[in-house]
Chains A and B, each alone.
Chain A
Amino acid sequence: MALNGPAARMGAKILLSLIPLTALVIFWYCAMYFGSPYLRQFMPWPGQTAMVFFNLLLSGELIGHAMSSIGRVLLGLSLAAVVGIPLGILIGRFWTVRAAFGPTFDFLRPIPIAAWVPLSIMLFGIGEVPAISLVFLGCLYPIVLNARDGVTAVDPIHLRAAGMLGAGPMQILLRVVLPSALPSIITGLRQALSIGWWVVILAELLAVRSGLGYLMIHAQQLWEPATIISCMIAIGVIGIGMNYVTGVAEKYLLRWRATS
């Protein structure tokens, strides 16, 4: 059977992509089987884990917590986009705004989001506010930076073209600068989404009593490693799903660009 044609190639791709995961499960079995008896006392077998996963899935518990997590990411991301896209455009377009915000931004950016956790819990207590604030902050940086880069990379010939066609400053901003910067803005939003996804799990481990992160830390306290692993699987699957959806959206929004 020759490996040609798109269908055969697709099949081969799927099979090949399963190799590392299968190897991991086999390794897991072997470790349990041949490893120290101590391991078998607390680690579940792959099959047991799968059972726990499907129970959590069917009971709705996993989905409920996942929805809480996703909701927080989307809310934090939206707020960051509303603030960050205009801010990035202004920073890129006006040196005054750049001078005003640049240094503060450069100072805050190296502080990891995790470092904001203690203060945000002290300020806001345990609940939605610290979780969403942390997601917001984590999403803000890539959104602002990419919007800024997109704006500064506008082709000067397009600005000239718009001017000679009769566009005023506001029309140039909305009809030329914004669409020119769109690829970069979308890149920023996608980066923000994946950062937001790991920030929300971190926040839920510490600062809020629902969501996949909370389910994990709760399972740790109850000594339920199968639940923890189930959550990890869910986090990974949702991450892939988000990436896929935003990839499709990006392709549609940037359909005017060469497909590479």
Chain B
Amino acid sequence: MKSNSVVLKGVSKQFHRRGSGTFDALSDINLELGAGEIYALVGPSGCGKSTILNLVAGFDAPTSGEVLVDGKAVTKPGPDRGVVFQEHGLFPWLTAIENVQFGLDVRGVEGSAQKARRFLEAVGLTGFEKHYPRELSGGMRQRVSLARVLANGPSVILMDEPFGALDAQTRISMQELLMEIWAEFRPTILFITHDVDEAVFVADRIGVMAVKPGRIVEELTFSLRRPRTYHDLVAPEFSVLKEQILVRLRDSKKAAAVSA
């Protein structure tokens, strides 16, 4: 039986606006991620996809509803939920390997240097252990970010537009790297993006979101072969799925424009 690592039940989040009441960032979100699943949330900016990630990470608390990871309610950030930030998430005063060791060291894991080296190798950064983040390219920094999260062996990896700041070429190679990493470690991943191609490429399921209030308007499941490579992006099945998502996004945008 497949266990669910991440469960959101009837989650809403309101933010207080300066001066004029509250607004609904998220309304009645229900979401379940099975172990080893990659779930992508796509949607326009302001739809609350990053808010969902922050709630699961424990950076923020829901106004109502429940957020469970491995059956336990989320109350604060913890090593069972690794986050890959969009950028600048690495500690600039630590070398690549020290960044990966950080999580192991604060939790008192033995042999952290050796473990960290292994995860740097997994993301293809052997030889760059002693480099500081400023000496690495944007793509390499995100590799380190991924390695330090993997090293902690989390129940779920939360990725907040992790490749959004990278150039197109690097983005593609990072997406392919993520697929390799998934094949090796089988982590559960919640992936936030506004790039439909990216969502289609990485995910098993995709939640399409809309704004005002932020909600999931459609969930698409698709079970195409893994490992995927970039050739699959031009396969007919992908195009069909991509069209579905684009139509859904456009519809929700129109609806928002009418209601506004």
Contacts and interface: CB of A to CB of B under 8 A. Distances in A.
Contact of B106 (A157, A175, A180, A257): A175
B134 A161 contact: no
Interface residues of A, number: 22
A256 B132 contact: yes
B83 A160 contact: yes
Contacts of A257: 92, 134
A179 interface: yes
Which size class do B's interface residues fall under?
20 to 34
A176 interface: yes
B42 interface: no
Given A175-B102, A256-B134, A165 B93 contact: no
A175 B152 CA distance: 17
Contacts of B59: 160, 163
A109 interface: no
Nearest to B78: A166
B77 interface: yes
B82 interface: yes
A160 B77 contact: yes
Describe A's contact surface by its main secondary structure.
helix
A253 to B, nearest CB: 10
Contacts of B81: 164
A179 B92 CA distance: 9
A163 B77 contact: yes
Interface string A175-212: 11001101000000000000000000000000000000
A44 to B, nearest CB: 52
Interface string B55-97: 0011100000000000000001111011101001111111100
B88 A155 contact: yes
B83 A179 contact: no
A158 interface: yes
Contacts of A175: 102, 106
25 contacts: A157-B85, A157-B89, A158-B91, A160-B85, A160-B89, A161-B83, A161-B85, A163-B58, A163-B59, A163-B76, A163-B77, A163-B78, A164-B77, A165-B149, A165-B152, A166-B106, A167-B102, A168-B106, A171-B106, A175-B106, A182-B93, A255-B132, A256-B93, A256-B94, A257-B92
Given A165-B79, A167-B102, A167-B106, 11 more contacts: A158-B89, A160-B57, A162-B106, A163-B77, A164-B78, A165-B82, A166-B107, A167-B103, A256-B94, A256-B133, A257-B134
